[in-house]
Structure 1
Amino acid sequence: MERKIEQDESWTDSGIDSFKSIPRDQYPSLETSEKDKQGCGTEERLDSAYVSSSLTTDSLDDFIDKCRISEATECECTEEEATLLTTLTEDGDTILHLAIIHEEEDFAHQLIELFPHELLDIQNNLYQTPLHLATYLNQPSVVKKLLVKGVSLDLQDQEGNTPLHVACERGLWECACEMVHDVSANKLAHVTEAQNWRGLACLHMATRHKHHRLMRLLMKKGVDLNIQEGTSGKSALHMAVELHDVSAVTLLLNKGANVDAAMFNGCTALHLAVGRQDASIANLLCQAGADKMIRNLEDETALDLADGNDDILALFPFDDIQIMGRTVMNF
């Protein structure tokens, strides 16, 4: 390499964390002026590379030109190039992390070819791998390239999320498809059953955010429909009921979710539906064979939570139901 990319001690980048508070259309580009950079968003960015990094579009292009990979020739990095490739910023980012953050996808592809395999899974100070960042920024071509190189799907960021968690939370269909494509059933089960630090597995993430298409994708790949989240023992069905999400409830029931699965407190999905006065979903659950007599740890059946709702009371098989002496149903 004839020319070094200029570096200084201010070359820092903390990863993607601050992107969560700034709309994507407000991300500053590499050519953005200093004035524009300072006026972008209302919160100070943890990702300080945009204001202090010596990386520029020209320097990235220069590096690409110097390290162009020939399809016919195996690339051998010089000592100078290898030093740059393996340098970490004070926030733990490699140049590959930075290329992905700056959305220089072509450059990221070149770096993935240049990086030794063992460096592709480096986690920054937020425990984000390049795969986490490529997923978060919805770069399916980079995700695919990383997966072809054999990166890990199991690594968790500072919130306990795997890259597939990120895709399921944000509804990133293409990235998720790349991650579940051509993966063995055992390996995929290990990934889909992993819980983040809030106790949520990938199906829980997709359900909570009403990403029905991703739910179907996970189901097609054989995800455990009844997996419980780690804090209260809710299944995806419990979560769908809490959200009054009729489509998700129907999807889960049609795919064979256990209608009588109980939370740690003994509540079934029917308890939740009745407690939330959702007669439509309660009816769906009853049609799916929900046991109306299951008692939770408070010794309550779903009927005990009906609170006089005539539409819900009509679902329960009693000859005579009275409330304060008034008959509301006769059979």
Structure 2
Amino acid sequence: MERSGGEKQGKLDFDESRIDSGIDSYKSISREQDGSSDSSEDKDKSCATDERLDSAYVSSSLTVDSLGDFIEKCSVSECESATDCEYTEEEVNFLTTVTEDGDTILHLAIIHEEECFARQLMELFPPDLMDIQNNLYQTPLHLATYLNQPTVVKGLVEKRVSLELQDQEGNTSLHVACEHGFWDCANEMIHNASPSKLANVLEAQNWRGLTCLHVATLHKHHRLLRLLMKSGVDLNIQEGTSGKTALHMAVELHDLTAVNLLLNKGVNVDAAMFNGCTALHLAVGRQDAAIANLLCQAGADKMIRNMEDETALDLADGNDDILALFPFDDIQIMGRTVMNFS
């Protein structure tokens, strides 16, 4: 490549004749070059990789012959940034190669876990190219997160890629980290993103109406819950379909640890779903005396009525452990205490 001033720099050398299909052959080529044989250990590793990279993330029909060959033939320009360089037509074609599945060469490097090459490409790619979404609307950041590559995630976030882009299921990259429990990837996104961008991501709902907090709660990733709490996430944010908060979800899952975490961080214990049910309604309805007791200790209002005009006491249904949580020394009409015998 050449600087805009004309000084020659290291070029991206590649053989155009090798632009063909068959990217998946690169691993076997790499093994041949290393002089290694097809041992049972190699086969096991290959199988493990094939199982982990499912069809949602592996391109099936590609336009490059061997990523391994490209890696060997490429050298990174010494330009300090992409904007300092002028690319030749061949170099532009290389950097903007897109497969039939919509993957760029950066997508492919991440898919095949060539982290060093991916980092080199990040130095060459202009920011807008690093936000290209493939046919499944996955950006390189989605893929690096799905494959649990925190180093690559960090590099991409530091290059100011978008954290707000959503894949075909409406998930941001942080959603992906929260679903799979990849704390390191989530940590890189949270601590390297600008506060304004992070706030938008934390509020973003996927197509099921779930925010990152809801996803982490549903999958019982308590360490991620703590990370999200430290980042200033709105603990009372409601999911889009039924209005549940993370506390409602934790109660439904009988997740005592998550309930404790949320209560200790000041979640609204009386937040209501769209149908008027509070977390206490759900705990009593599921006959979970332990969680119902926690909620009562946190000051849950026992007389809130849902849209069916039911209080939590109405749902106790003869459960002595639950009924013991409700005092009977008050006379109440329409949820209001009119006489107290204590």
TM-score tier (shorter): 0.7 to 0.9
Aligned partner of 2:308: which letter?
E
Give 1:118's aligned residue.
Answer: 128
Per the alignment, do residues 284 and 44 of structure 1 end up closer, same or farther by CA in structure 2, a change over 3 Å counting? closer
Per the alignment, do residues 254 and 144 of structure 1 end up closer, same or farther by CA in structure 2, a change over 3 Å counting? same
Per the alignment, do residues 129 and 224 of structure 1 end up closer, same or farther by CA in structure 2, a change over 3 Å counting? same
Helix, strand or coil at the partner of 1:30: helix
Per-residue CA deviations over 1:107-162 (Å, capped at 9, x if unaligned) read 10111111111111000110000011101111111111111111011100000001
Aligned partner of 1:246: which letter?
L
Per-residue CA deviations over 1:75-134 (Å, capped at 9, x if unaligned) read 553321210110211111101101100111111011111111111100011000001110
| Contact preservation (8 Å) 2:280, 2:312 | yes
Give 2:243's aligned residue.
Answer: 233
How far apart in 2 are the matches of 1:184 and 1:251? 26
Establish whether residue 197 from structure 1 lines up as the match of residue 207 from structure 2.
yes
Q: How does 1:162-241 map to 2 (within 5 A)?
A: 162-241=172-251
| Contact preservation (8 Å) 2:62, 2:99 | no
Helix, strand or coil at the partner of 2:113: coil
Give 1:7's aligned residue.
Answer: 19
How far apart in 2 are the matches of 1:30 and 1:272? 52
How far apart in 2 are the matches of 1:215 and 1:44? 27
How far apart in 2 are the matches of 1:214 and 1:281? 21
Runs (5+) with no aligned partner, structure 2: 1-11, 32-37, 331-341
Q: How does 1:242-261 map to 2 (within 5 A)?
A: 242-261=252-271
1:308 to partner: Cα distance: 1.1
Give 1:296's aligned residue.
Answer: 306
Per the alignment, do residues 283 and 202 of structure 1 end up closer, same or farther by CA in structure 2, a change over 3 Å counting? same
How far apart in 1 are the matches of 2:176 and 2:147? 10
1:55 to partner: Cα distance: 3.9
1:184 to partner: Cα distance: 3.8
1:318 to partner: Cα distance: 1.1
Per-residue CA deviations over 1:23-54 (Å, capped at 9, x if unaligned) read xxxxx982289x9789965x994666578664
How far apart in 1 are the matches of 2:259 and 2:312? 18
Give 2:324's aligned residue.
Answer: 314
Helix, strand or coil at the partner of 2:131: coil
Helix, strand or coil at the partner of 1:120: helix
Helix, strand or coil at the partner of 1:87: coil
| Contact preservation (8 Å) 1:274, 1:302 | yes
Pick from 18, 28, 31 the counterpart of residue 28 of structure 2. 31
Give 1:62's aligned residue.
Answer: 72
Give 2:145's aligned residue.
Answer: 135
How far apart in 2 are the matches of 1:186 and 1:303? 43
How far apart in 1 are the matches of 2:58 and 2:278? 47
How far apart in 1 are the matches of 2:293 and 2:13? 72
How far apart in 2 are the matches of 1:307 and 1:225? 30
Per the alignment, do residues 180 and 52 of structure 1 end up closer, same or farther by CA in structure 2, a change over 3 Å counting? closer
Question: What RMSD in Å do the two structures reach over aligned CA positions?
Answer: 2.9
| Contact preservation (8 Å) 1:11, 1:49 | no
Give 2:338's aligned residue.
Answer: none
Helix, strand or coil at the partner of 2:28: coil
| Contact preservation (8 Å) 1:259, 1:288 | yes
How far apart in 1 are the matches of 2:195 and 2:292? 34
**Identity percentage of aligned residues:** 69
Aligned length: 303
Give 1:276's aligned residue.
Answer: 286
Per-residue CA deviations over 1:292-329 (Å, capped at 9, x if unaligned) read 00111111111111121110010011149xxxxxxxxx
Per the alignment, do residues 88 and 141 of structure 1 end up closer, same or farther by CA in structure 2, a change over 3 Å counting? same
How far apart in 1 are the matches of 2:323 and 2:237? 30
1:258 to partner: Cα distance: 0.3
Aligned partner of 1:146: which letter?
L
Aligned partner of 2:234: which letter?
D
